[in-house]
Amino acid sequence: MSTIKTNPAIPGKVATAADANATYAAIQTGTAALSDLNEQTEWASWYHVDSATQESVFTSDVNDFCNSVGIFDLLVENFTVVDLGGTPMRMTYTPAVTYQNGNEFMRVHADINVDDVGVITLPNILNGAQDCFFLQLWYRDGAGTYHAFPCKWGYSVTNMLTEDTTAIDIPFTIYDDHQEFIDYAMVHPRRRFRCSVTGFIPIVASGIDRIELRARLVDNVVVSAVSFKEATMTSMMIRR
């Protein structure tokens, strides 16, 4: 519980400036790292989340990528680097970013728009994620070896059902609308939606000198292509 004293107003009493400011003065006094100018952007430290004595937490080695012009057409089923009109969606570090203490990690975030979708040819029943694409972050260590982040992010471009809706039982009749679902989905793909991925990299002994975003189709017979545009990516080291 907080030990900072508050000063509630008493009904019928006109508060003075000292009365009104007393609570805020107590907060500033009781939390020495705060400034009345709110000018300290990273005053929170490990002391706030761990009772043991720890070094301060701070960020460093911030990097970023932004491209709002180039277009990347994804055509293949294996992970390939997102290349926006000849500009790979990639951040580099020279020299490689190295880890200095235990429990440090790098946080990476990327997002990109789906600009358009190619020809869609849906089967009668979708087999899992056939109408999807996947995004995944990759990094290269200081020894030149690439590693995939442990998670992939999948997005559907049709919102098509994976169940067979043939012969839905409606009272007094049997109506088959499955083909109508398919016909509608093939000519009404999802466009202009934002995709986001986030990942964390724990300690890498040789450091990190490159981070990039890769993408792949699940089935390029079902979805022939997905076009991407307007991408951003950023990373930072969380240090102690």
* Residue range 82-119, pLDDT digits in tens: 999 999 999 999 999 999 888 889 999 999 999 999 99
Six-digit token string for 64: 């970023």
Share above pLDDT 70 across residues of the chain, in percent, rounded to a whole number: 77
pLDDT of 1 reads 40
What tokens were used for 35?
């400034």
Instruction: Please give the pLDDT value at position 65.
Output: 97
In contact, 145 and 220? CB cutoff 8 Å: no
H or E segment at 110?
A: strand 105-117
Domains of the chain, each with CATH number or no CATH: 1-43 (no CATH), 58-239 (2.60.120)
Q: Is the dihedral of CA 46, 48, 49, 52 positive or negative?
A: positive
What local confidence, expressed as pLDDT, does residue 235 receive? 94
Give me the pLDDT at residue 171, please.
62
Question: What pLDDT does residue 111 have?
Answer: 96
For position 31, what pLDDT does the model report?
Answer: 63
Residues pairing with 214 in the sheet:
81, 136
pLDDT in tens, 25-35: 776 666 665 55
Rg (CA), the chain: 27
Give me the tens of pLDDT residue by residue for the chain, a chain 240 residues long. 445 666 677 777 777 788 777 777 776 666 665 555 555 555 555 455 555 555 567 788 889 999 999 999 999 999 999 999 999 999 999 999 999 888 889 999 999 999 999 999 888 777 778 999 999 999 999 999 999 998 899 999 987 765 555 555 556 555 556 677 777 777 888 888 999 999 999 999 999 999 999 999 999 999 999 999 999 999 999 887
β partners of residue 228: 72, 114
92 closest CA partner among 208, 237, 204, 210: 210
Cβ(225)–Cβ(73) under 8 Å? yes
DSSP state of 223: B
Report angle CA 5, 8, 13 to the nearest 5 degrees: 140
pLDDT at 142: 93
Per DSSP, helices labelled H in the chain are 17-30, 178-187
pLDDT computed for residue 126 by the predictor = 78
| CA distances (Å), origin 152, targets 19, 65, 129, 135, 195 | 55, 20, 13, 6, 12
Distance CA 215, CA 211 (A): 14
Q: Which residues have a Cβ under 8 Å from the Cβ of 85 and sit 6 or more positions away?
A: 67, 69, 70, 71, 72
Full-prediction pTM beyond 0.85?
no
Beta-strand relationship, 173-175 and 153-156: unpaired
| Measured CA angle at 15 (ends 12, 17), to 5 deg | 175
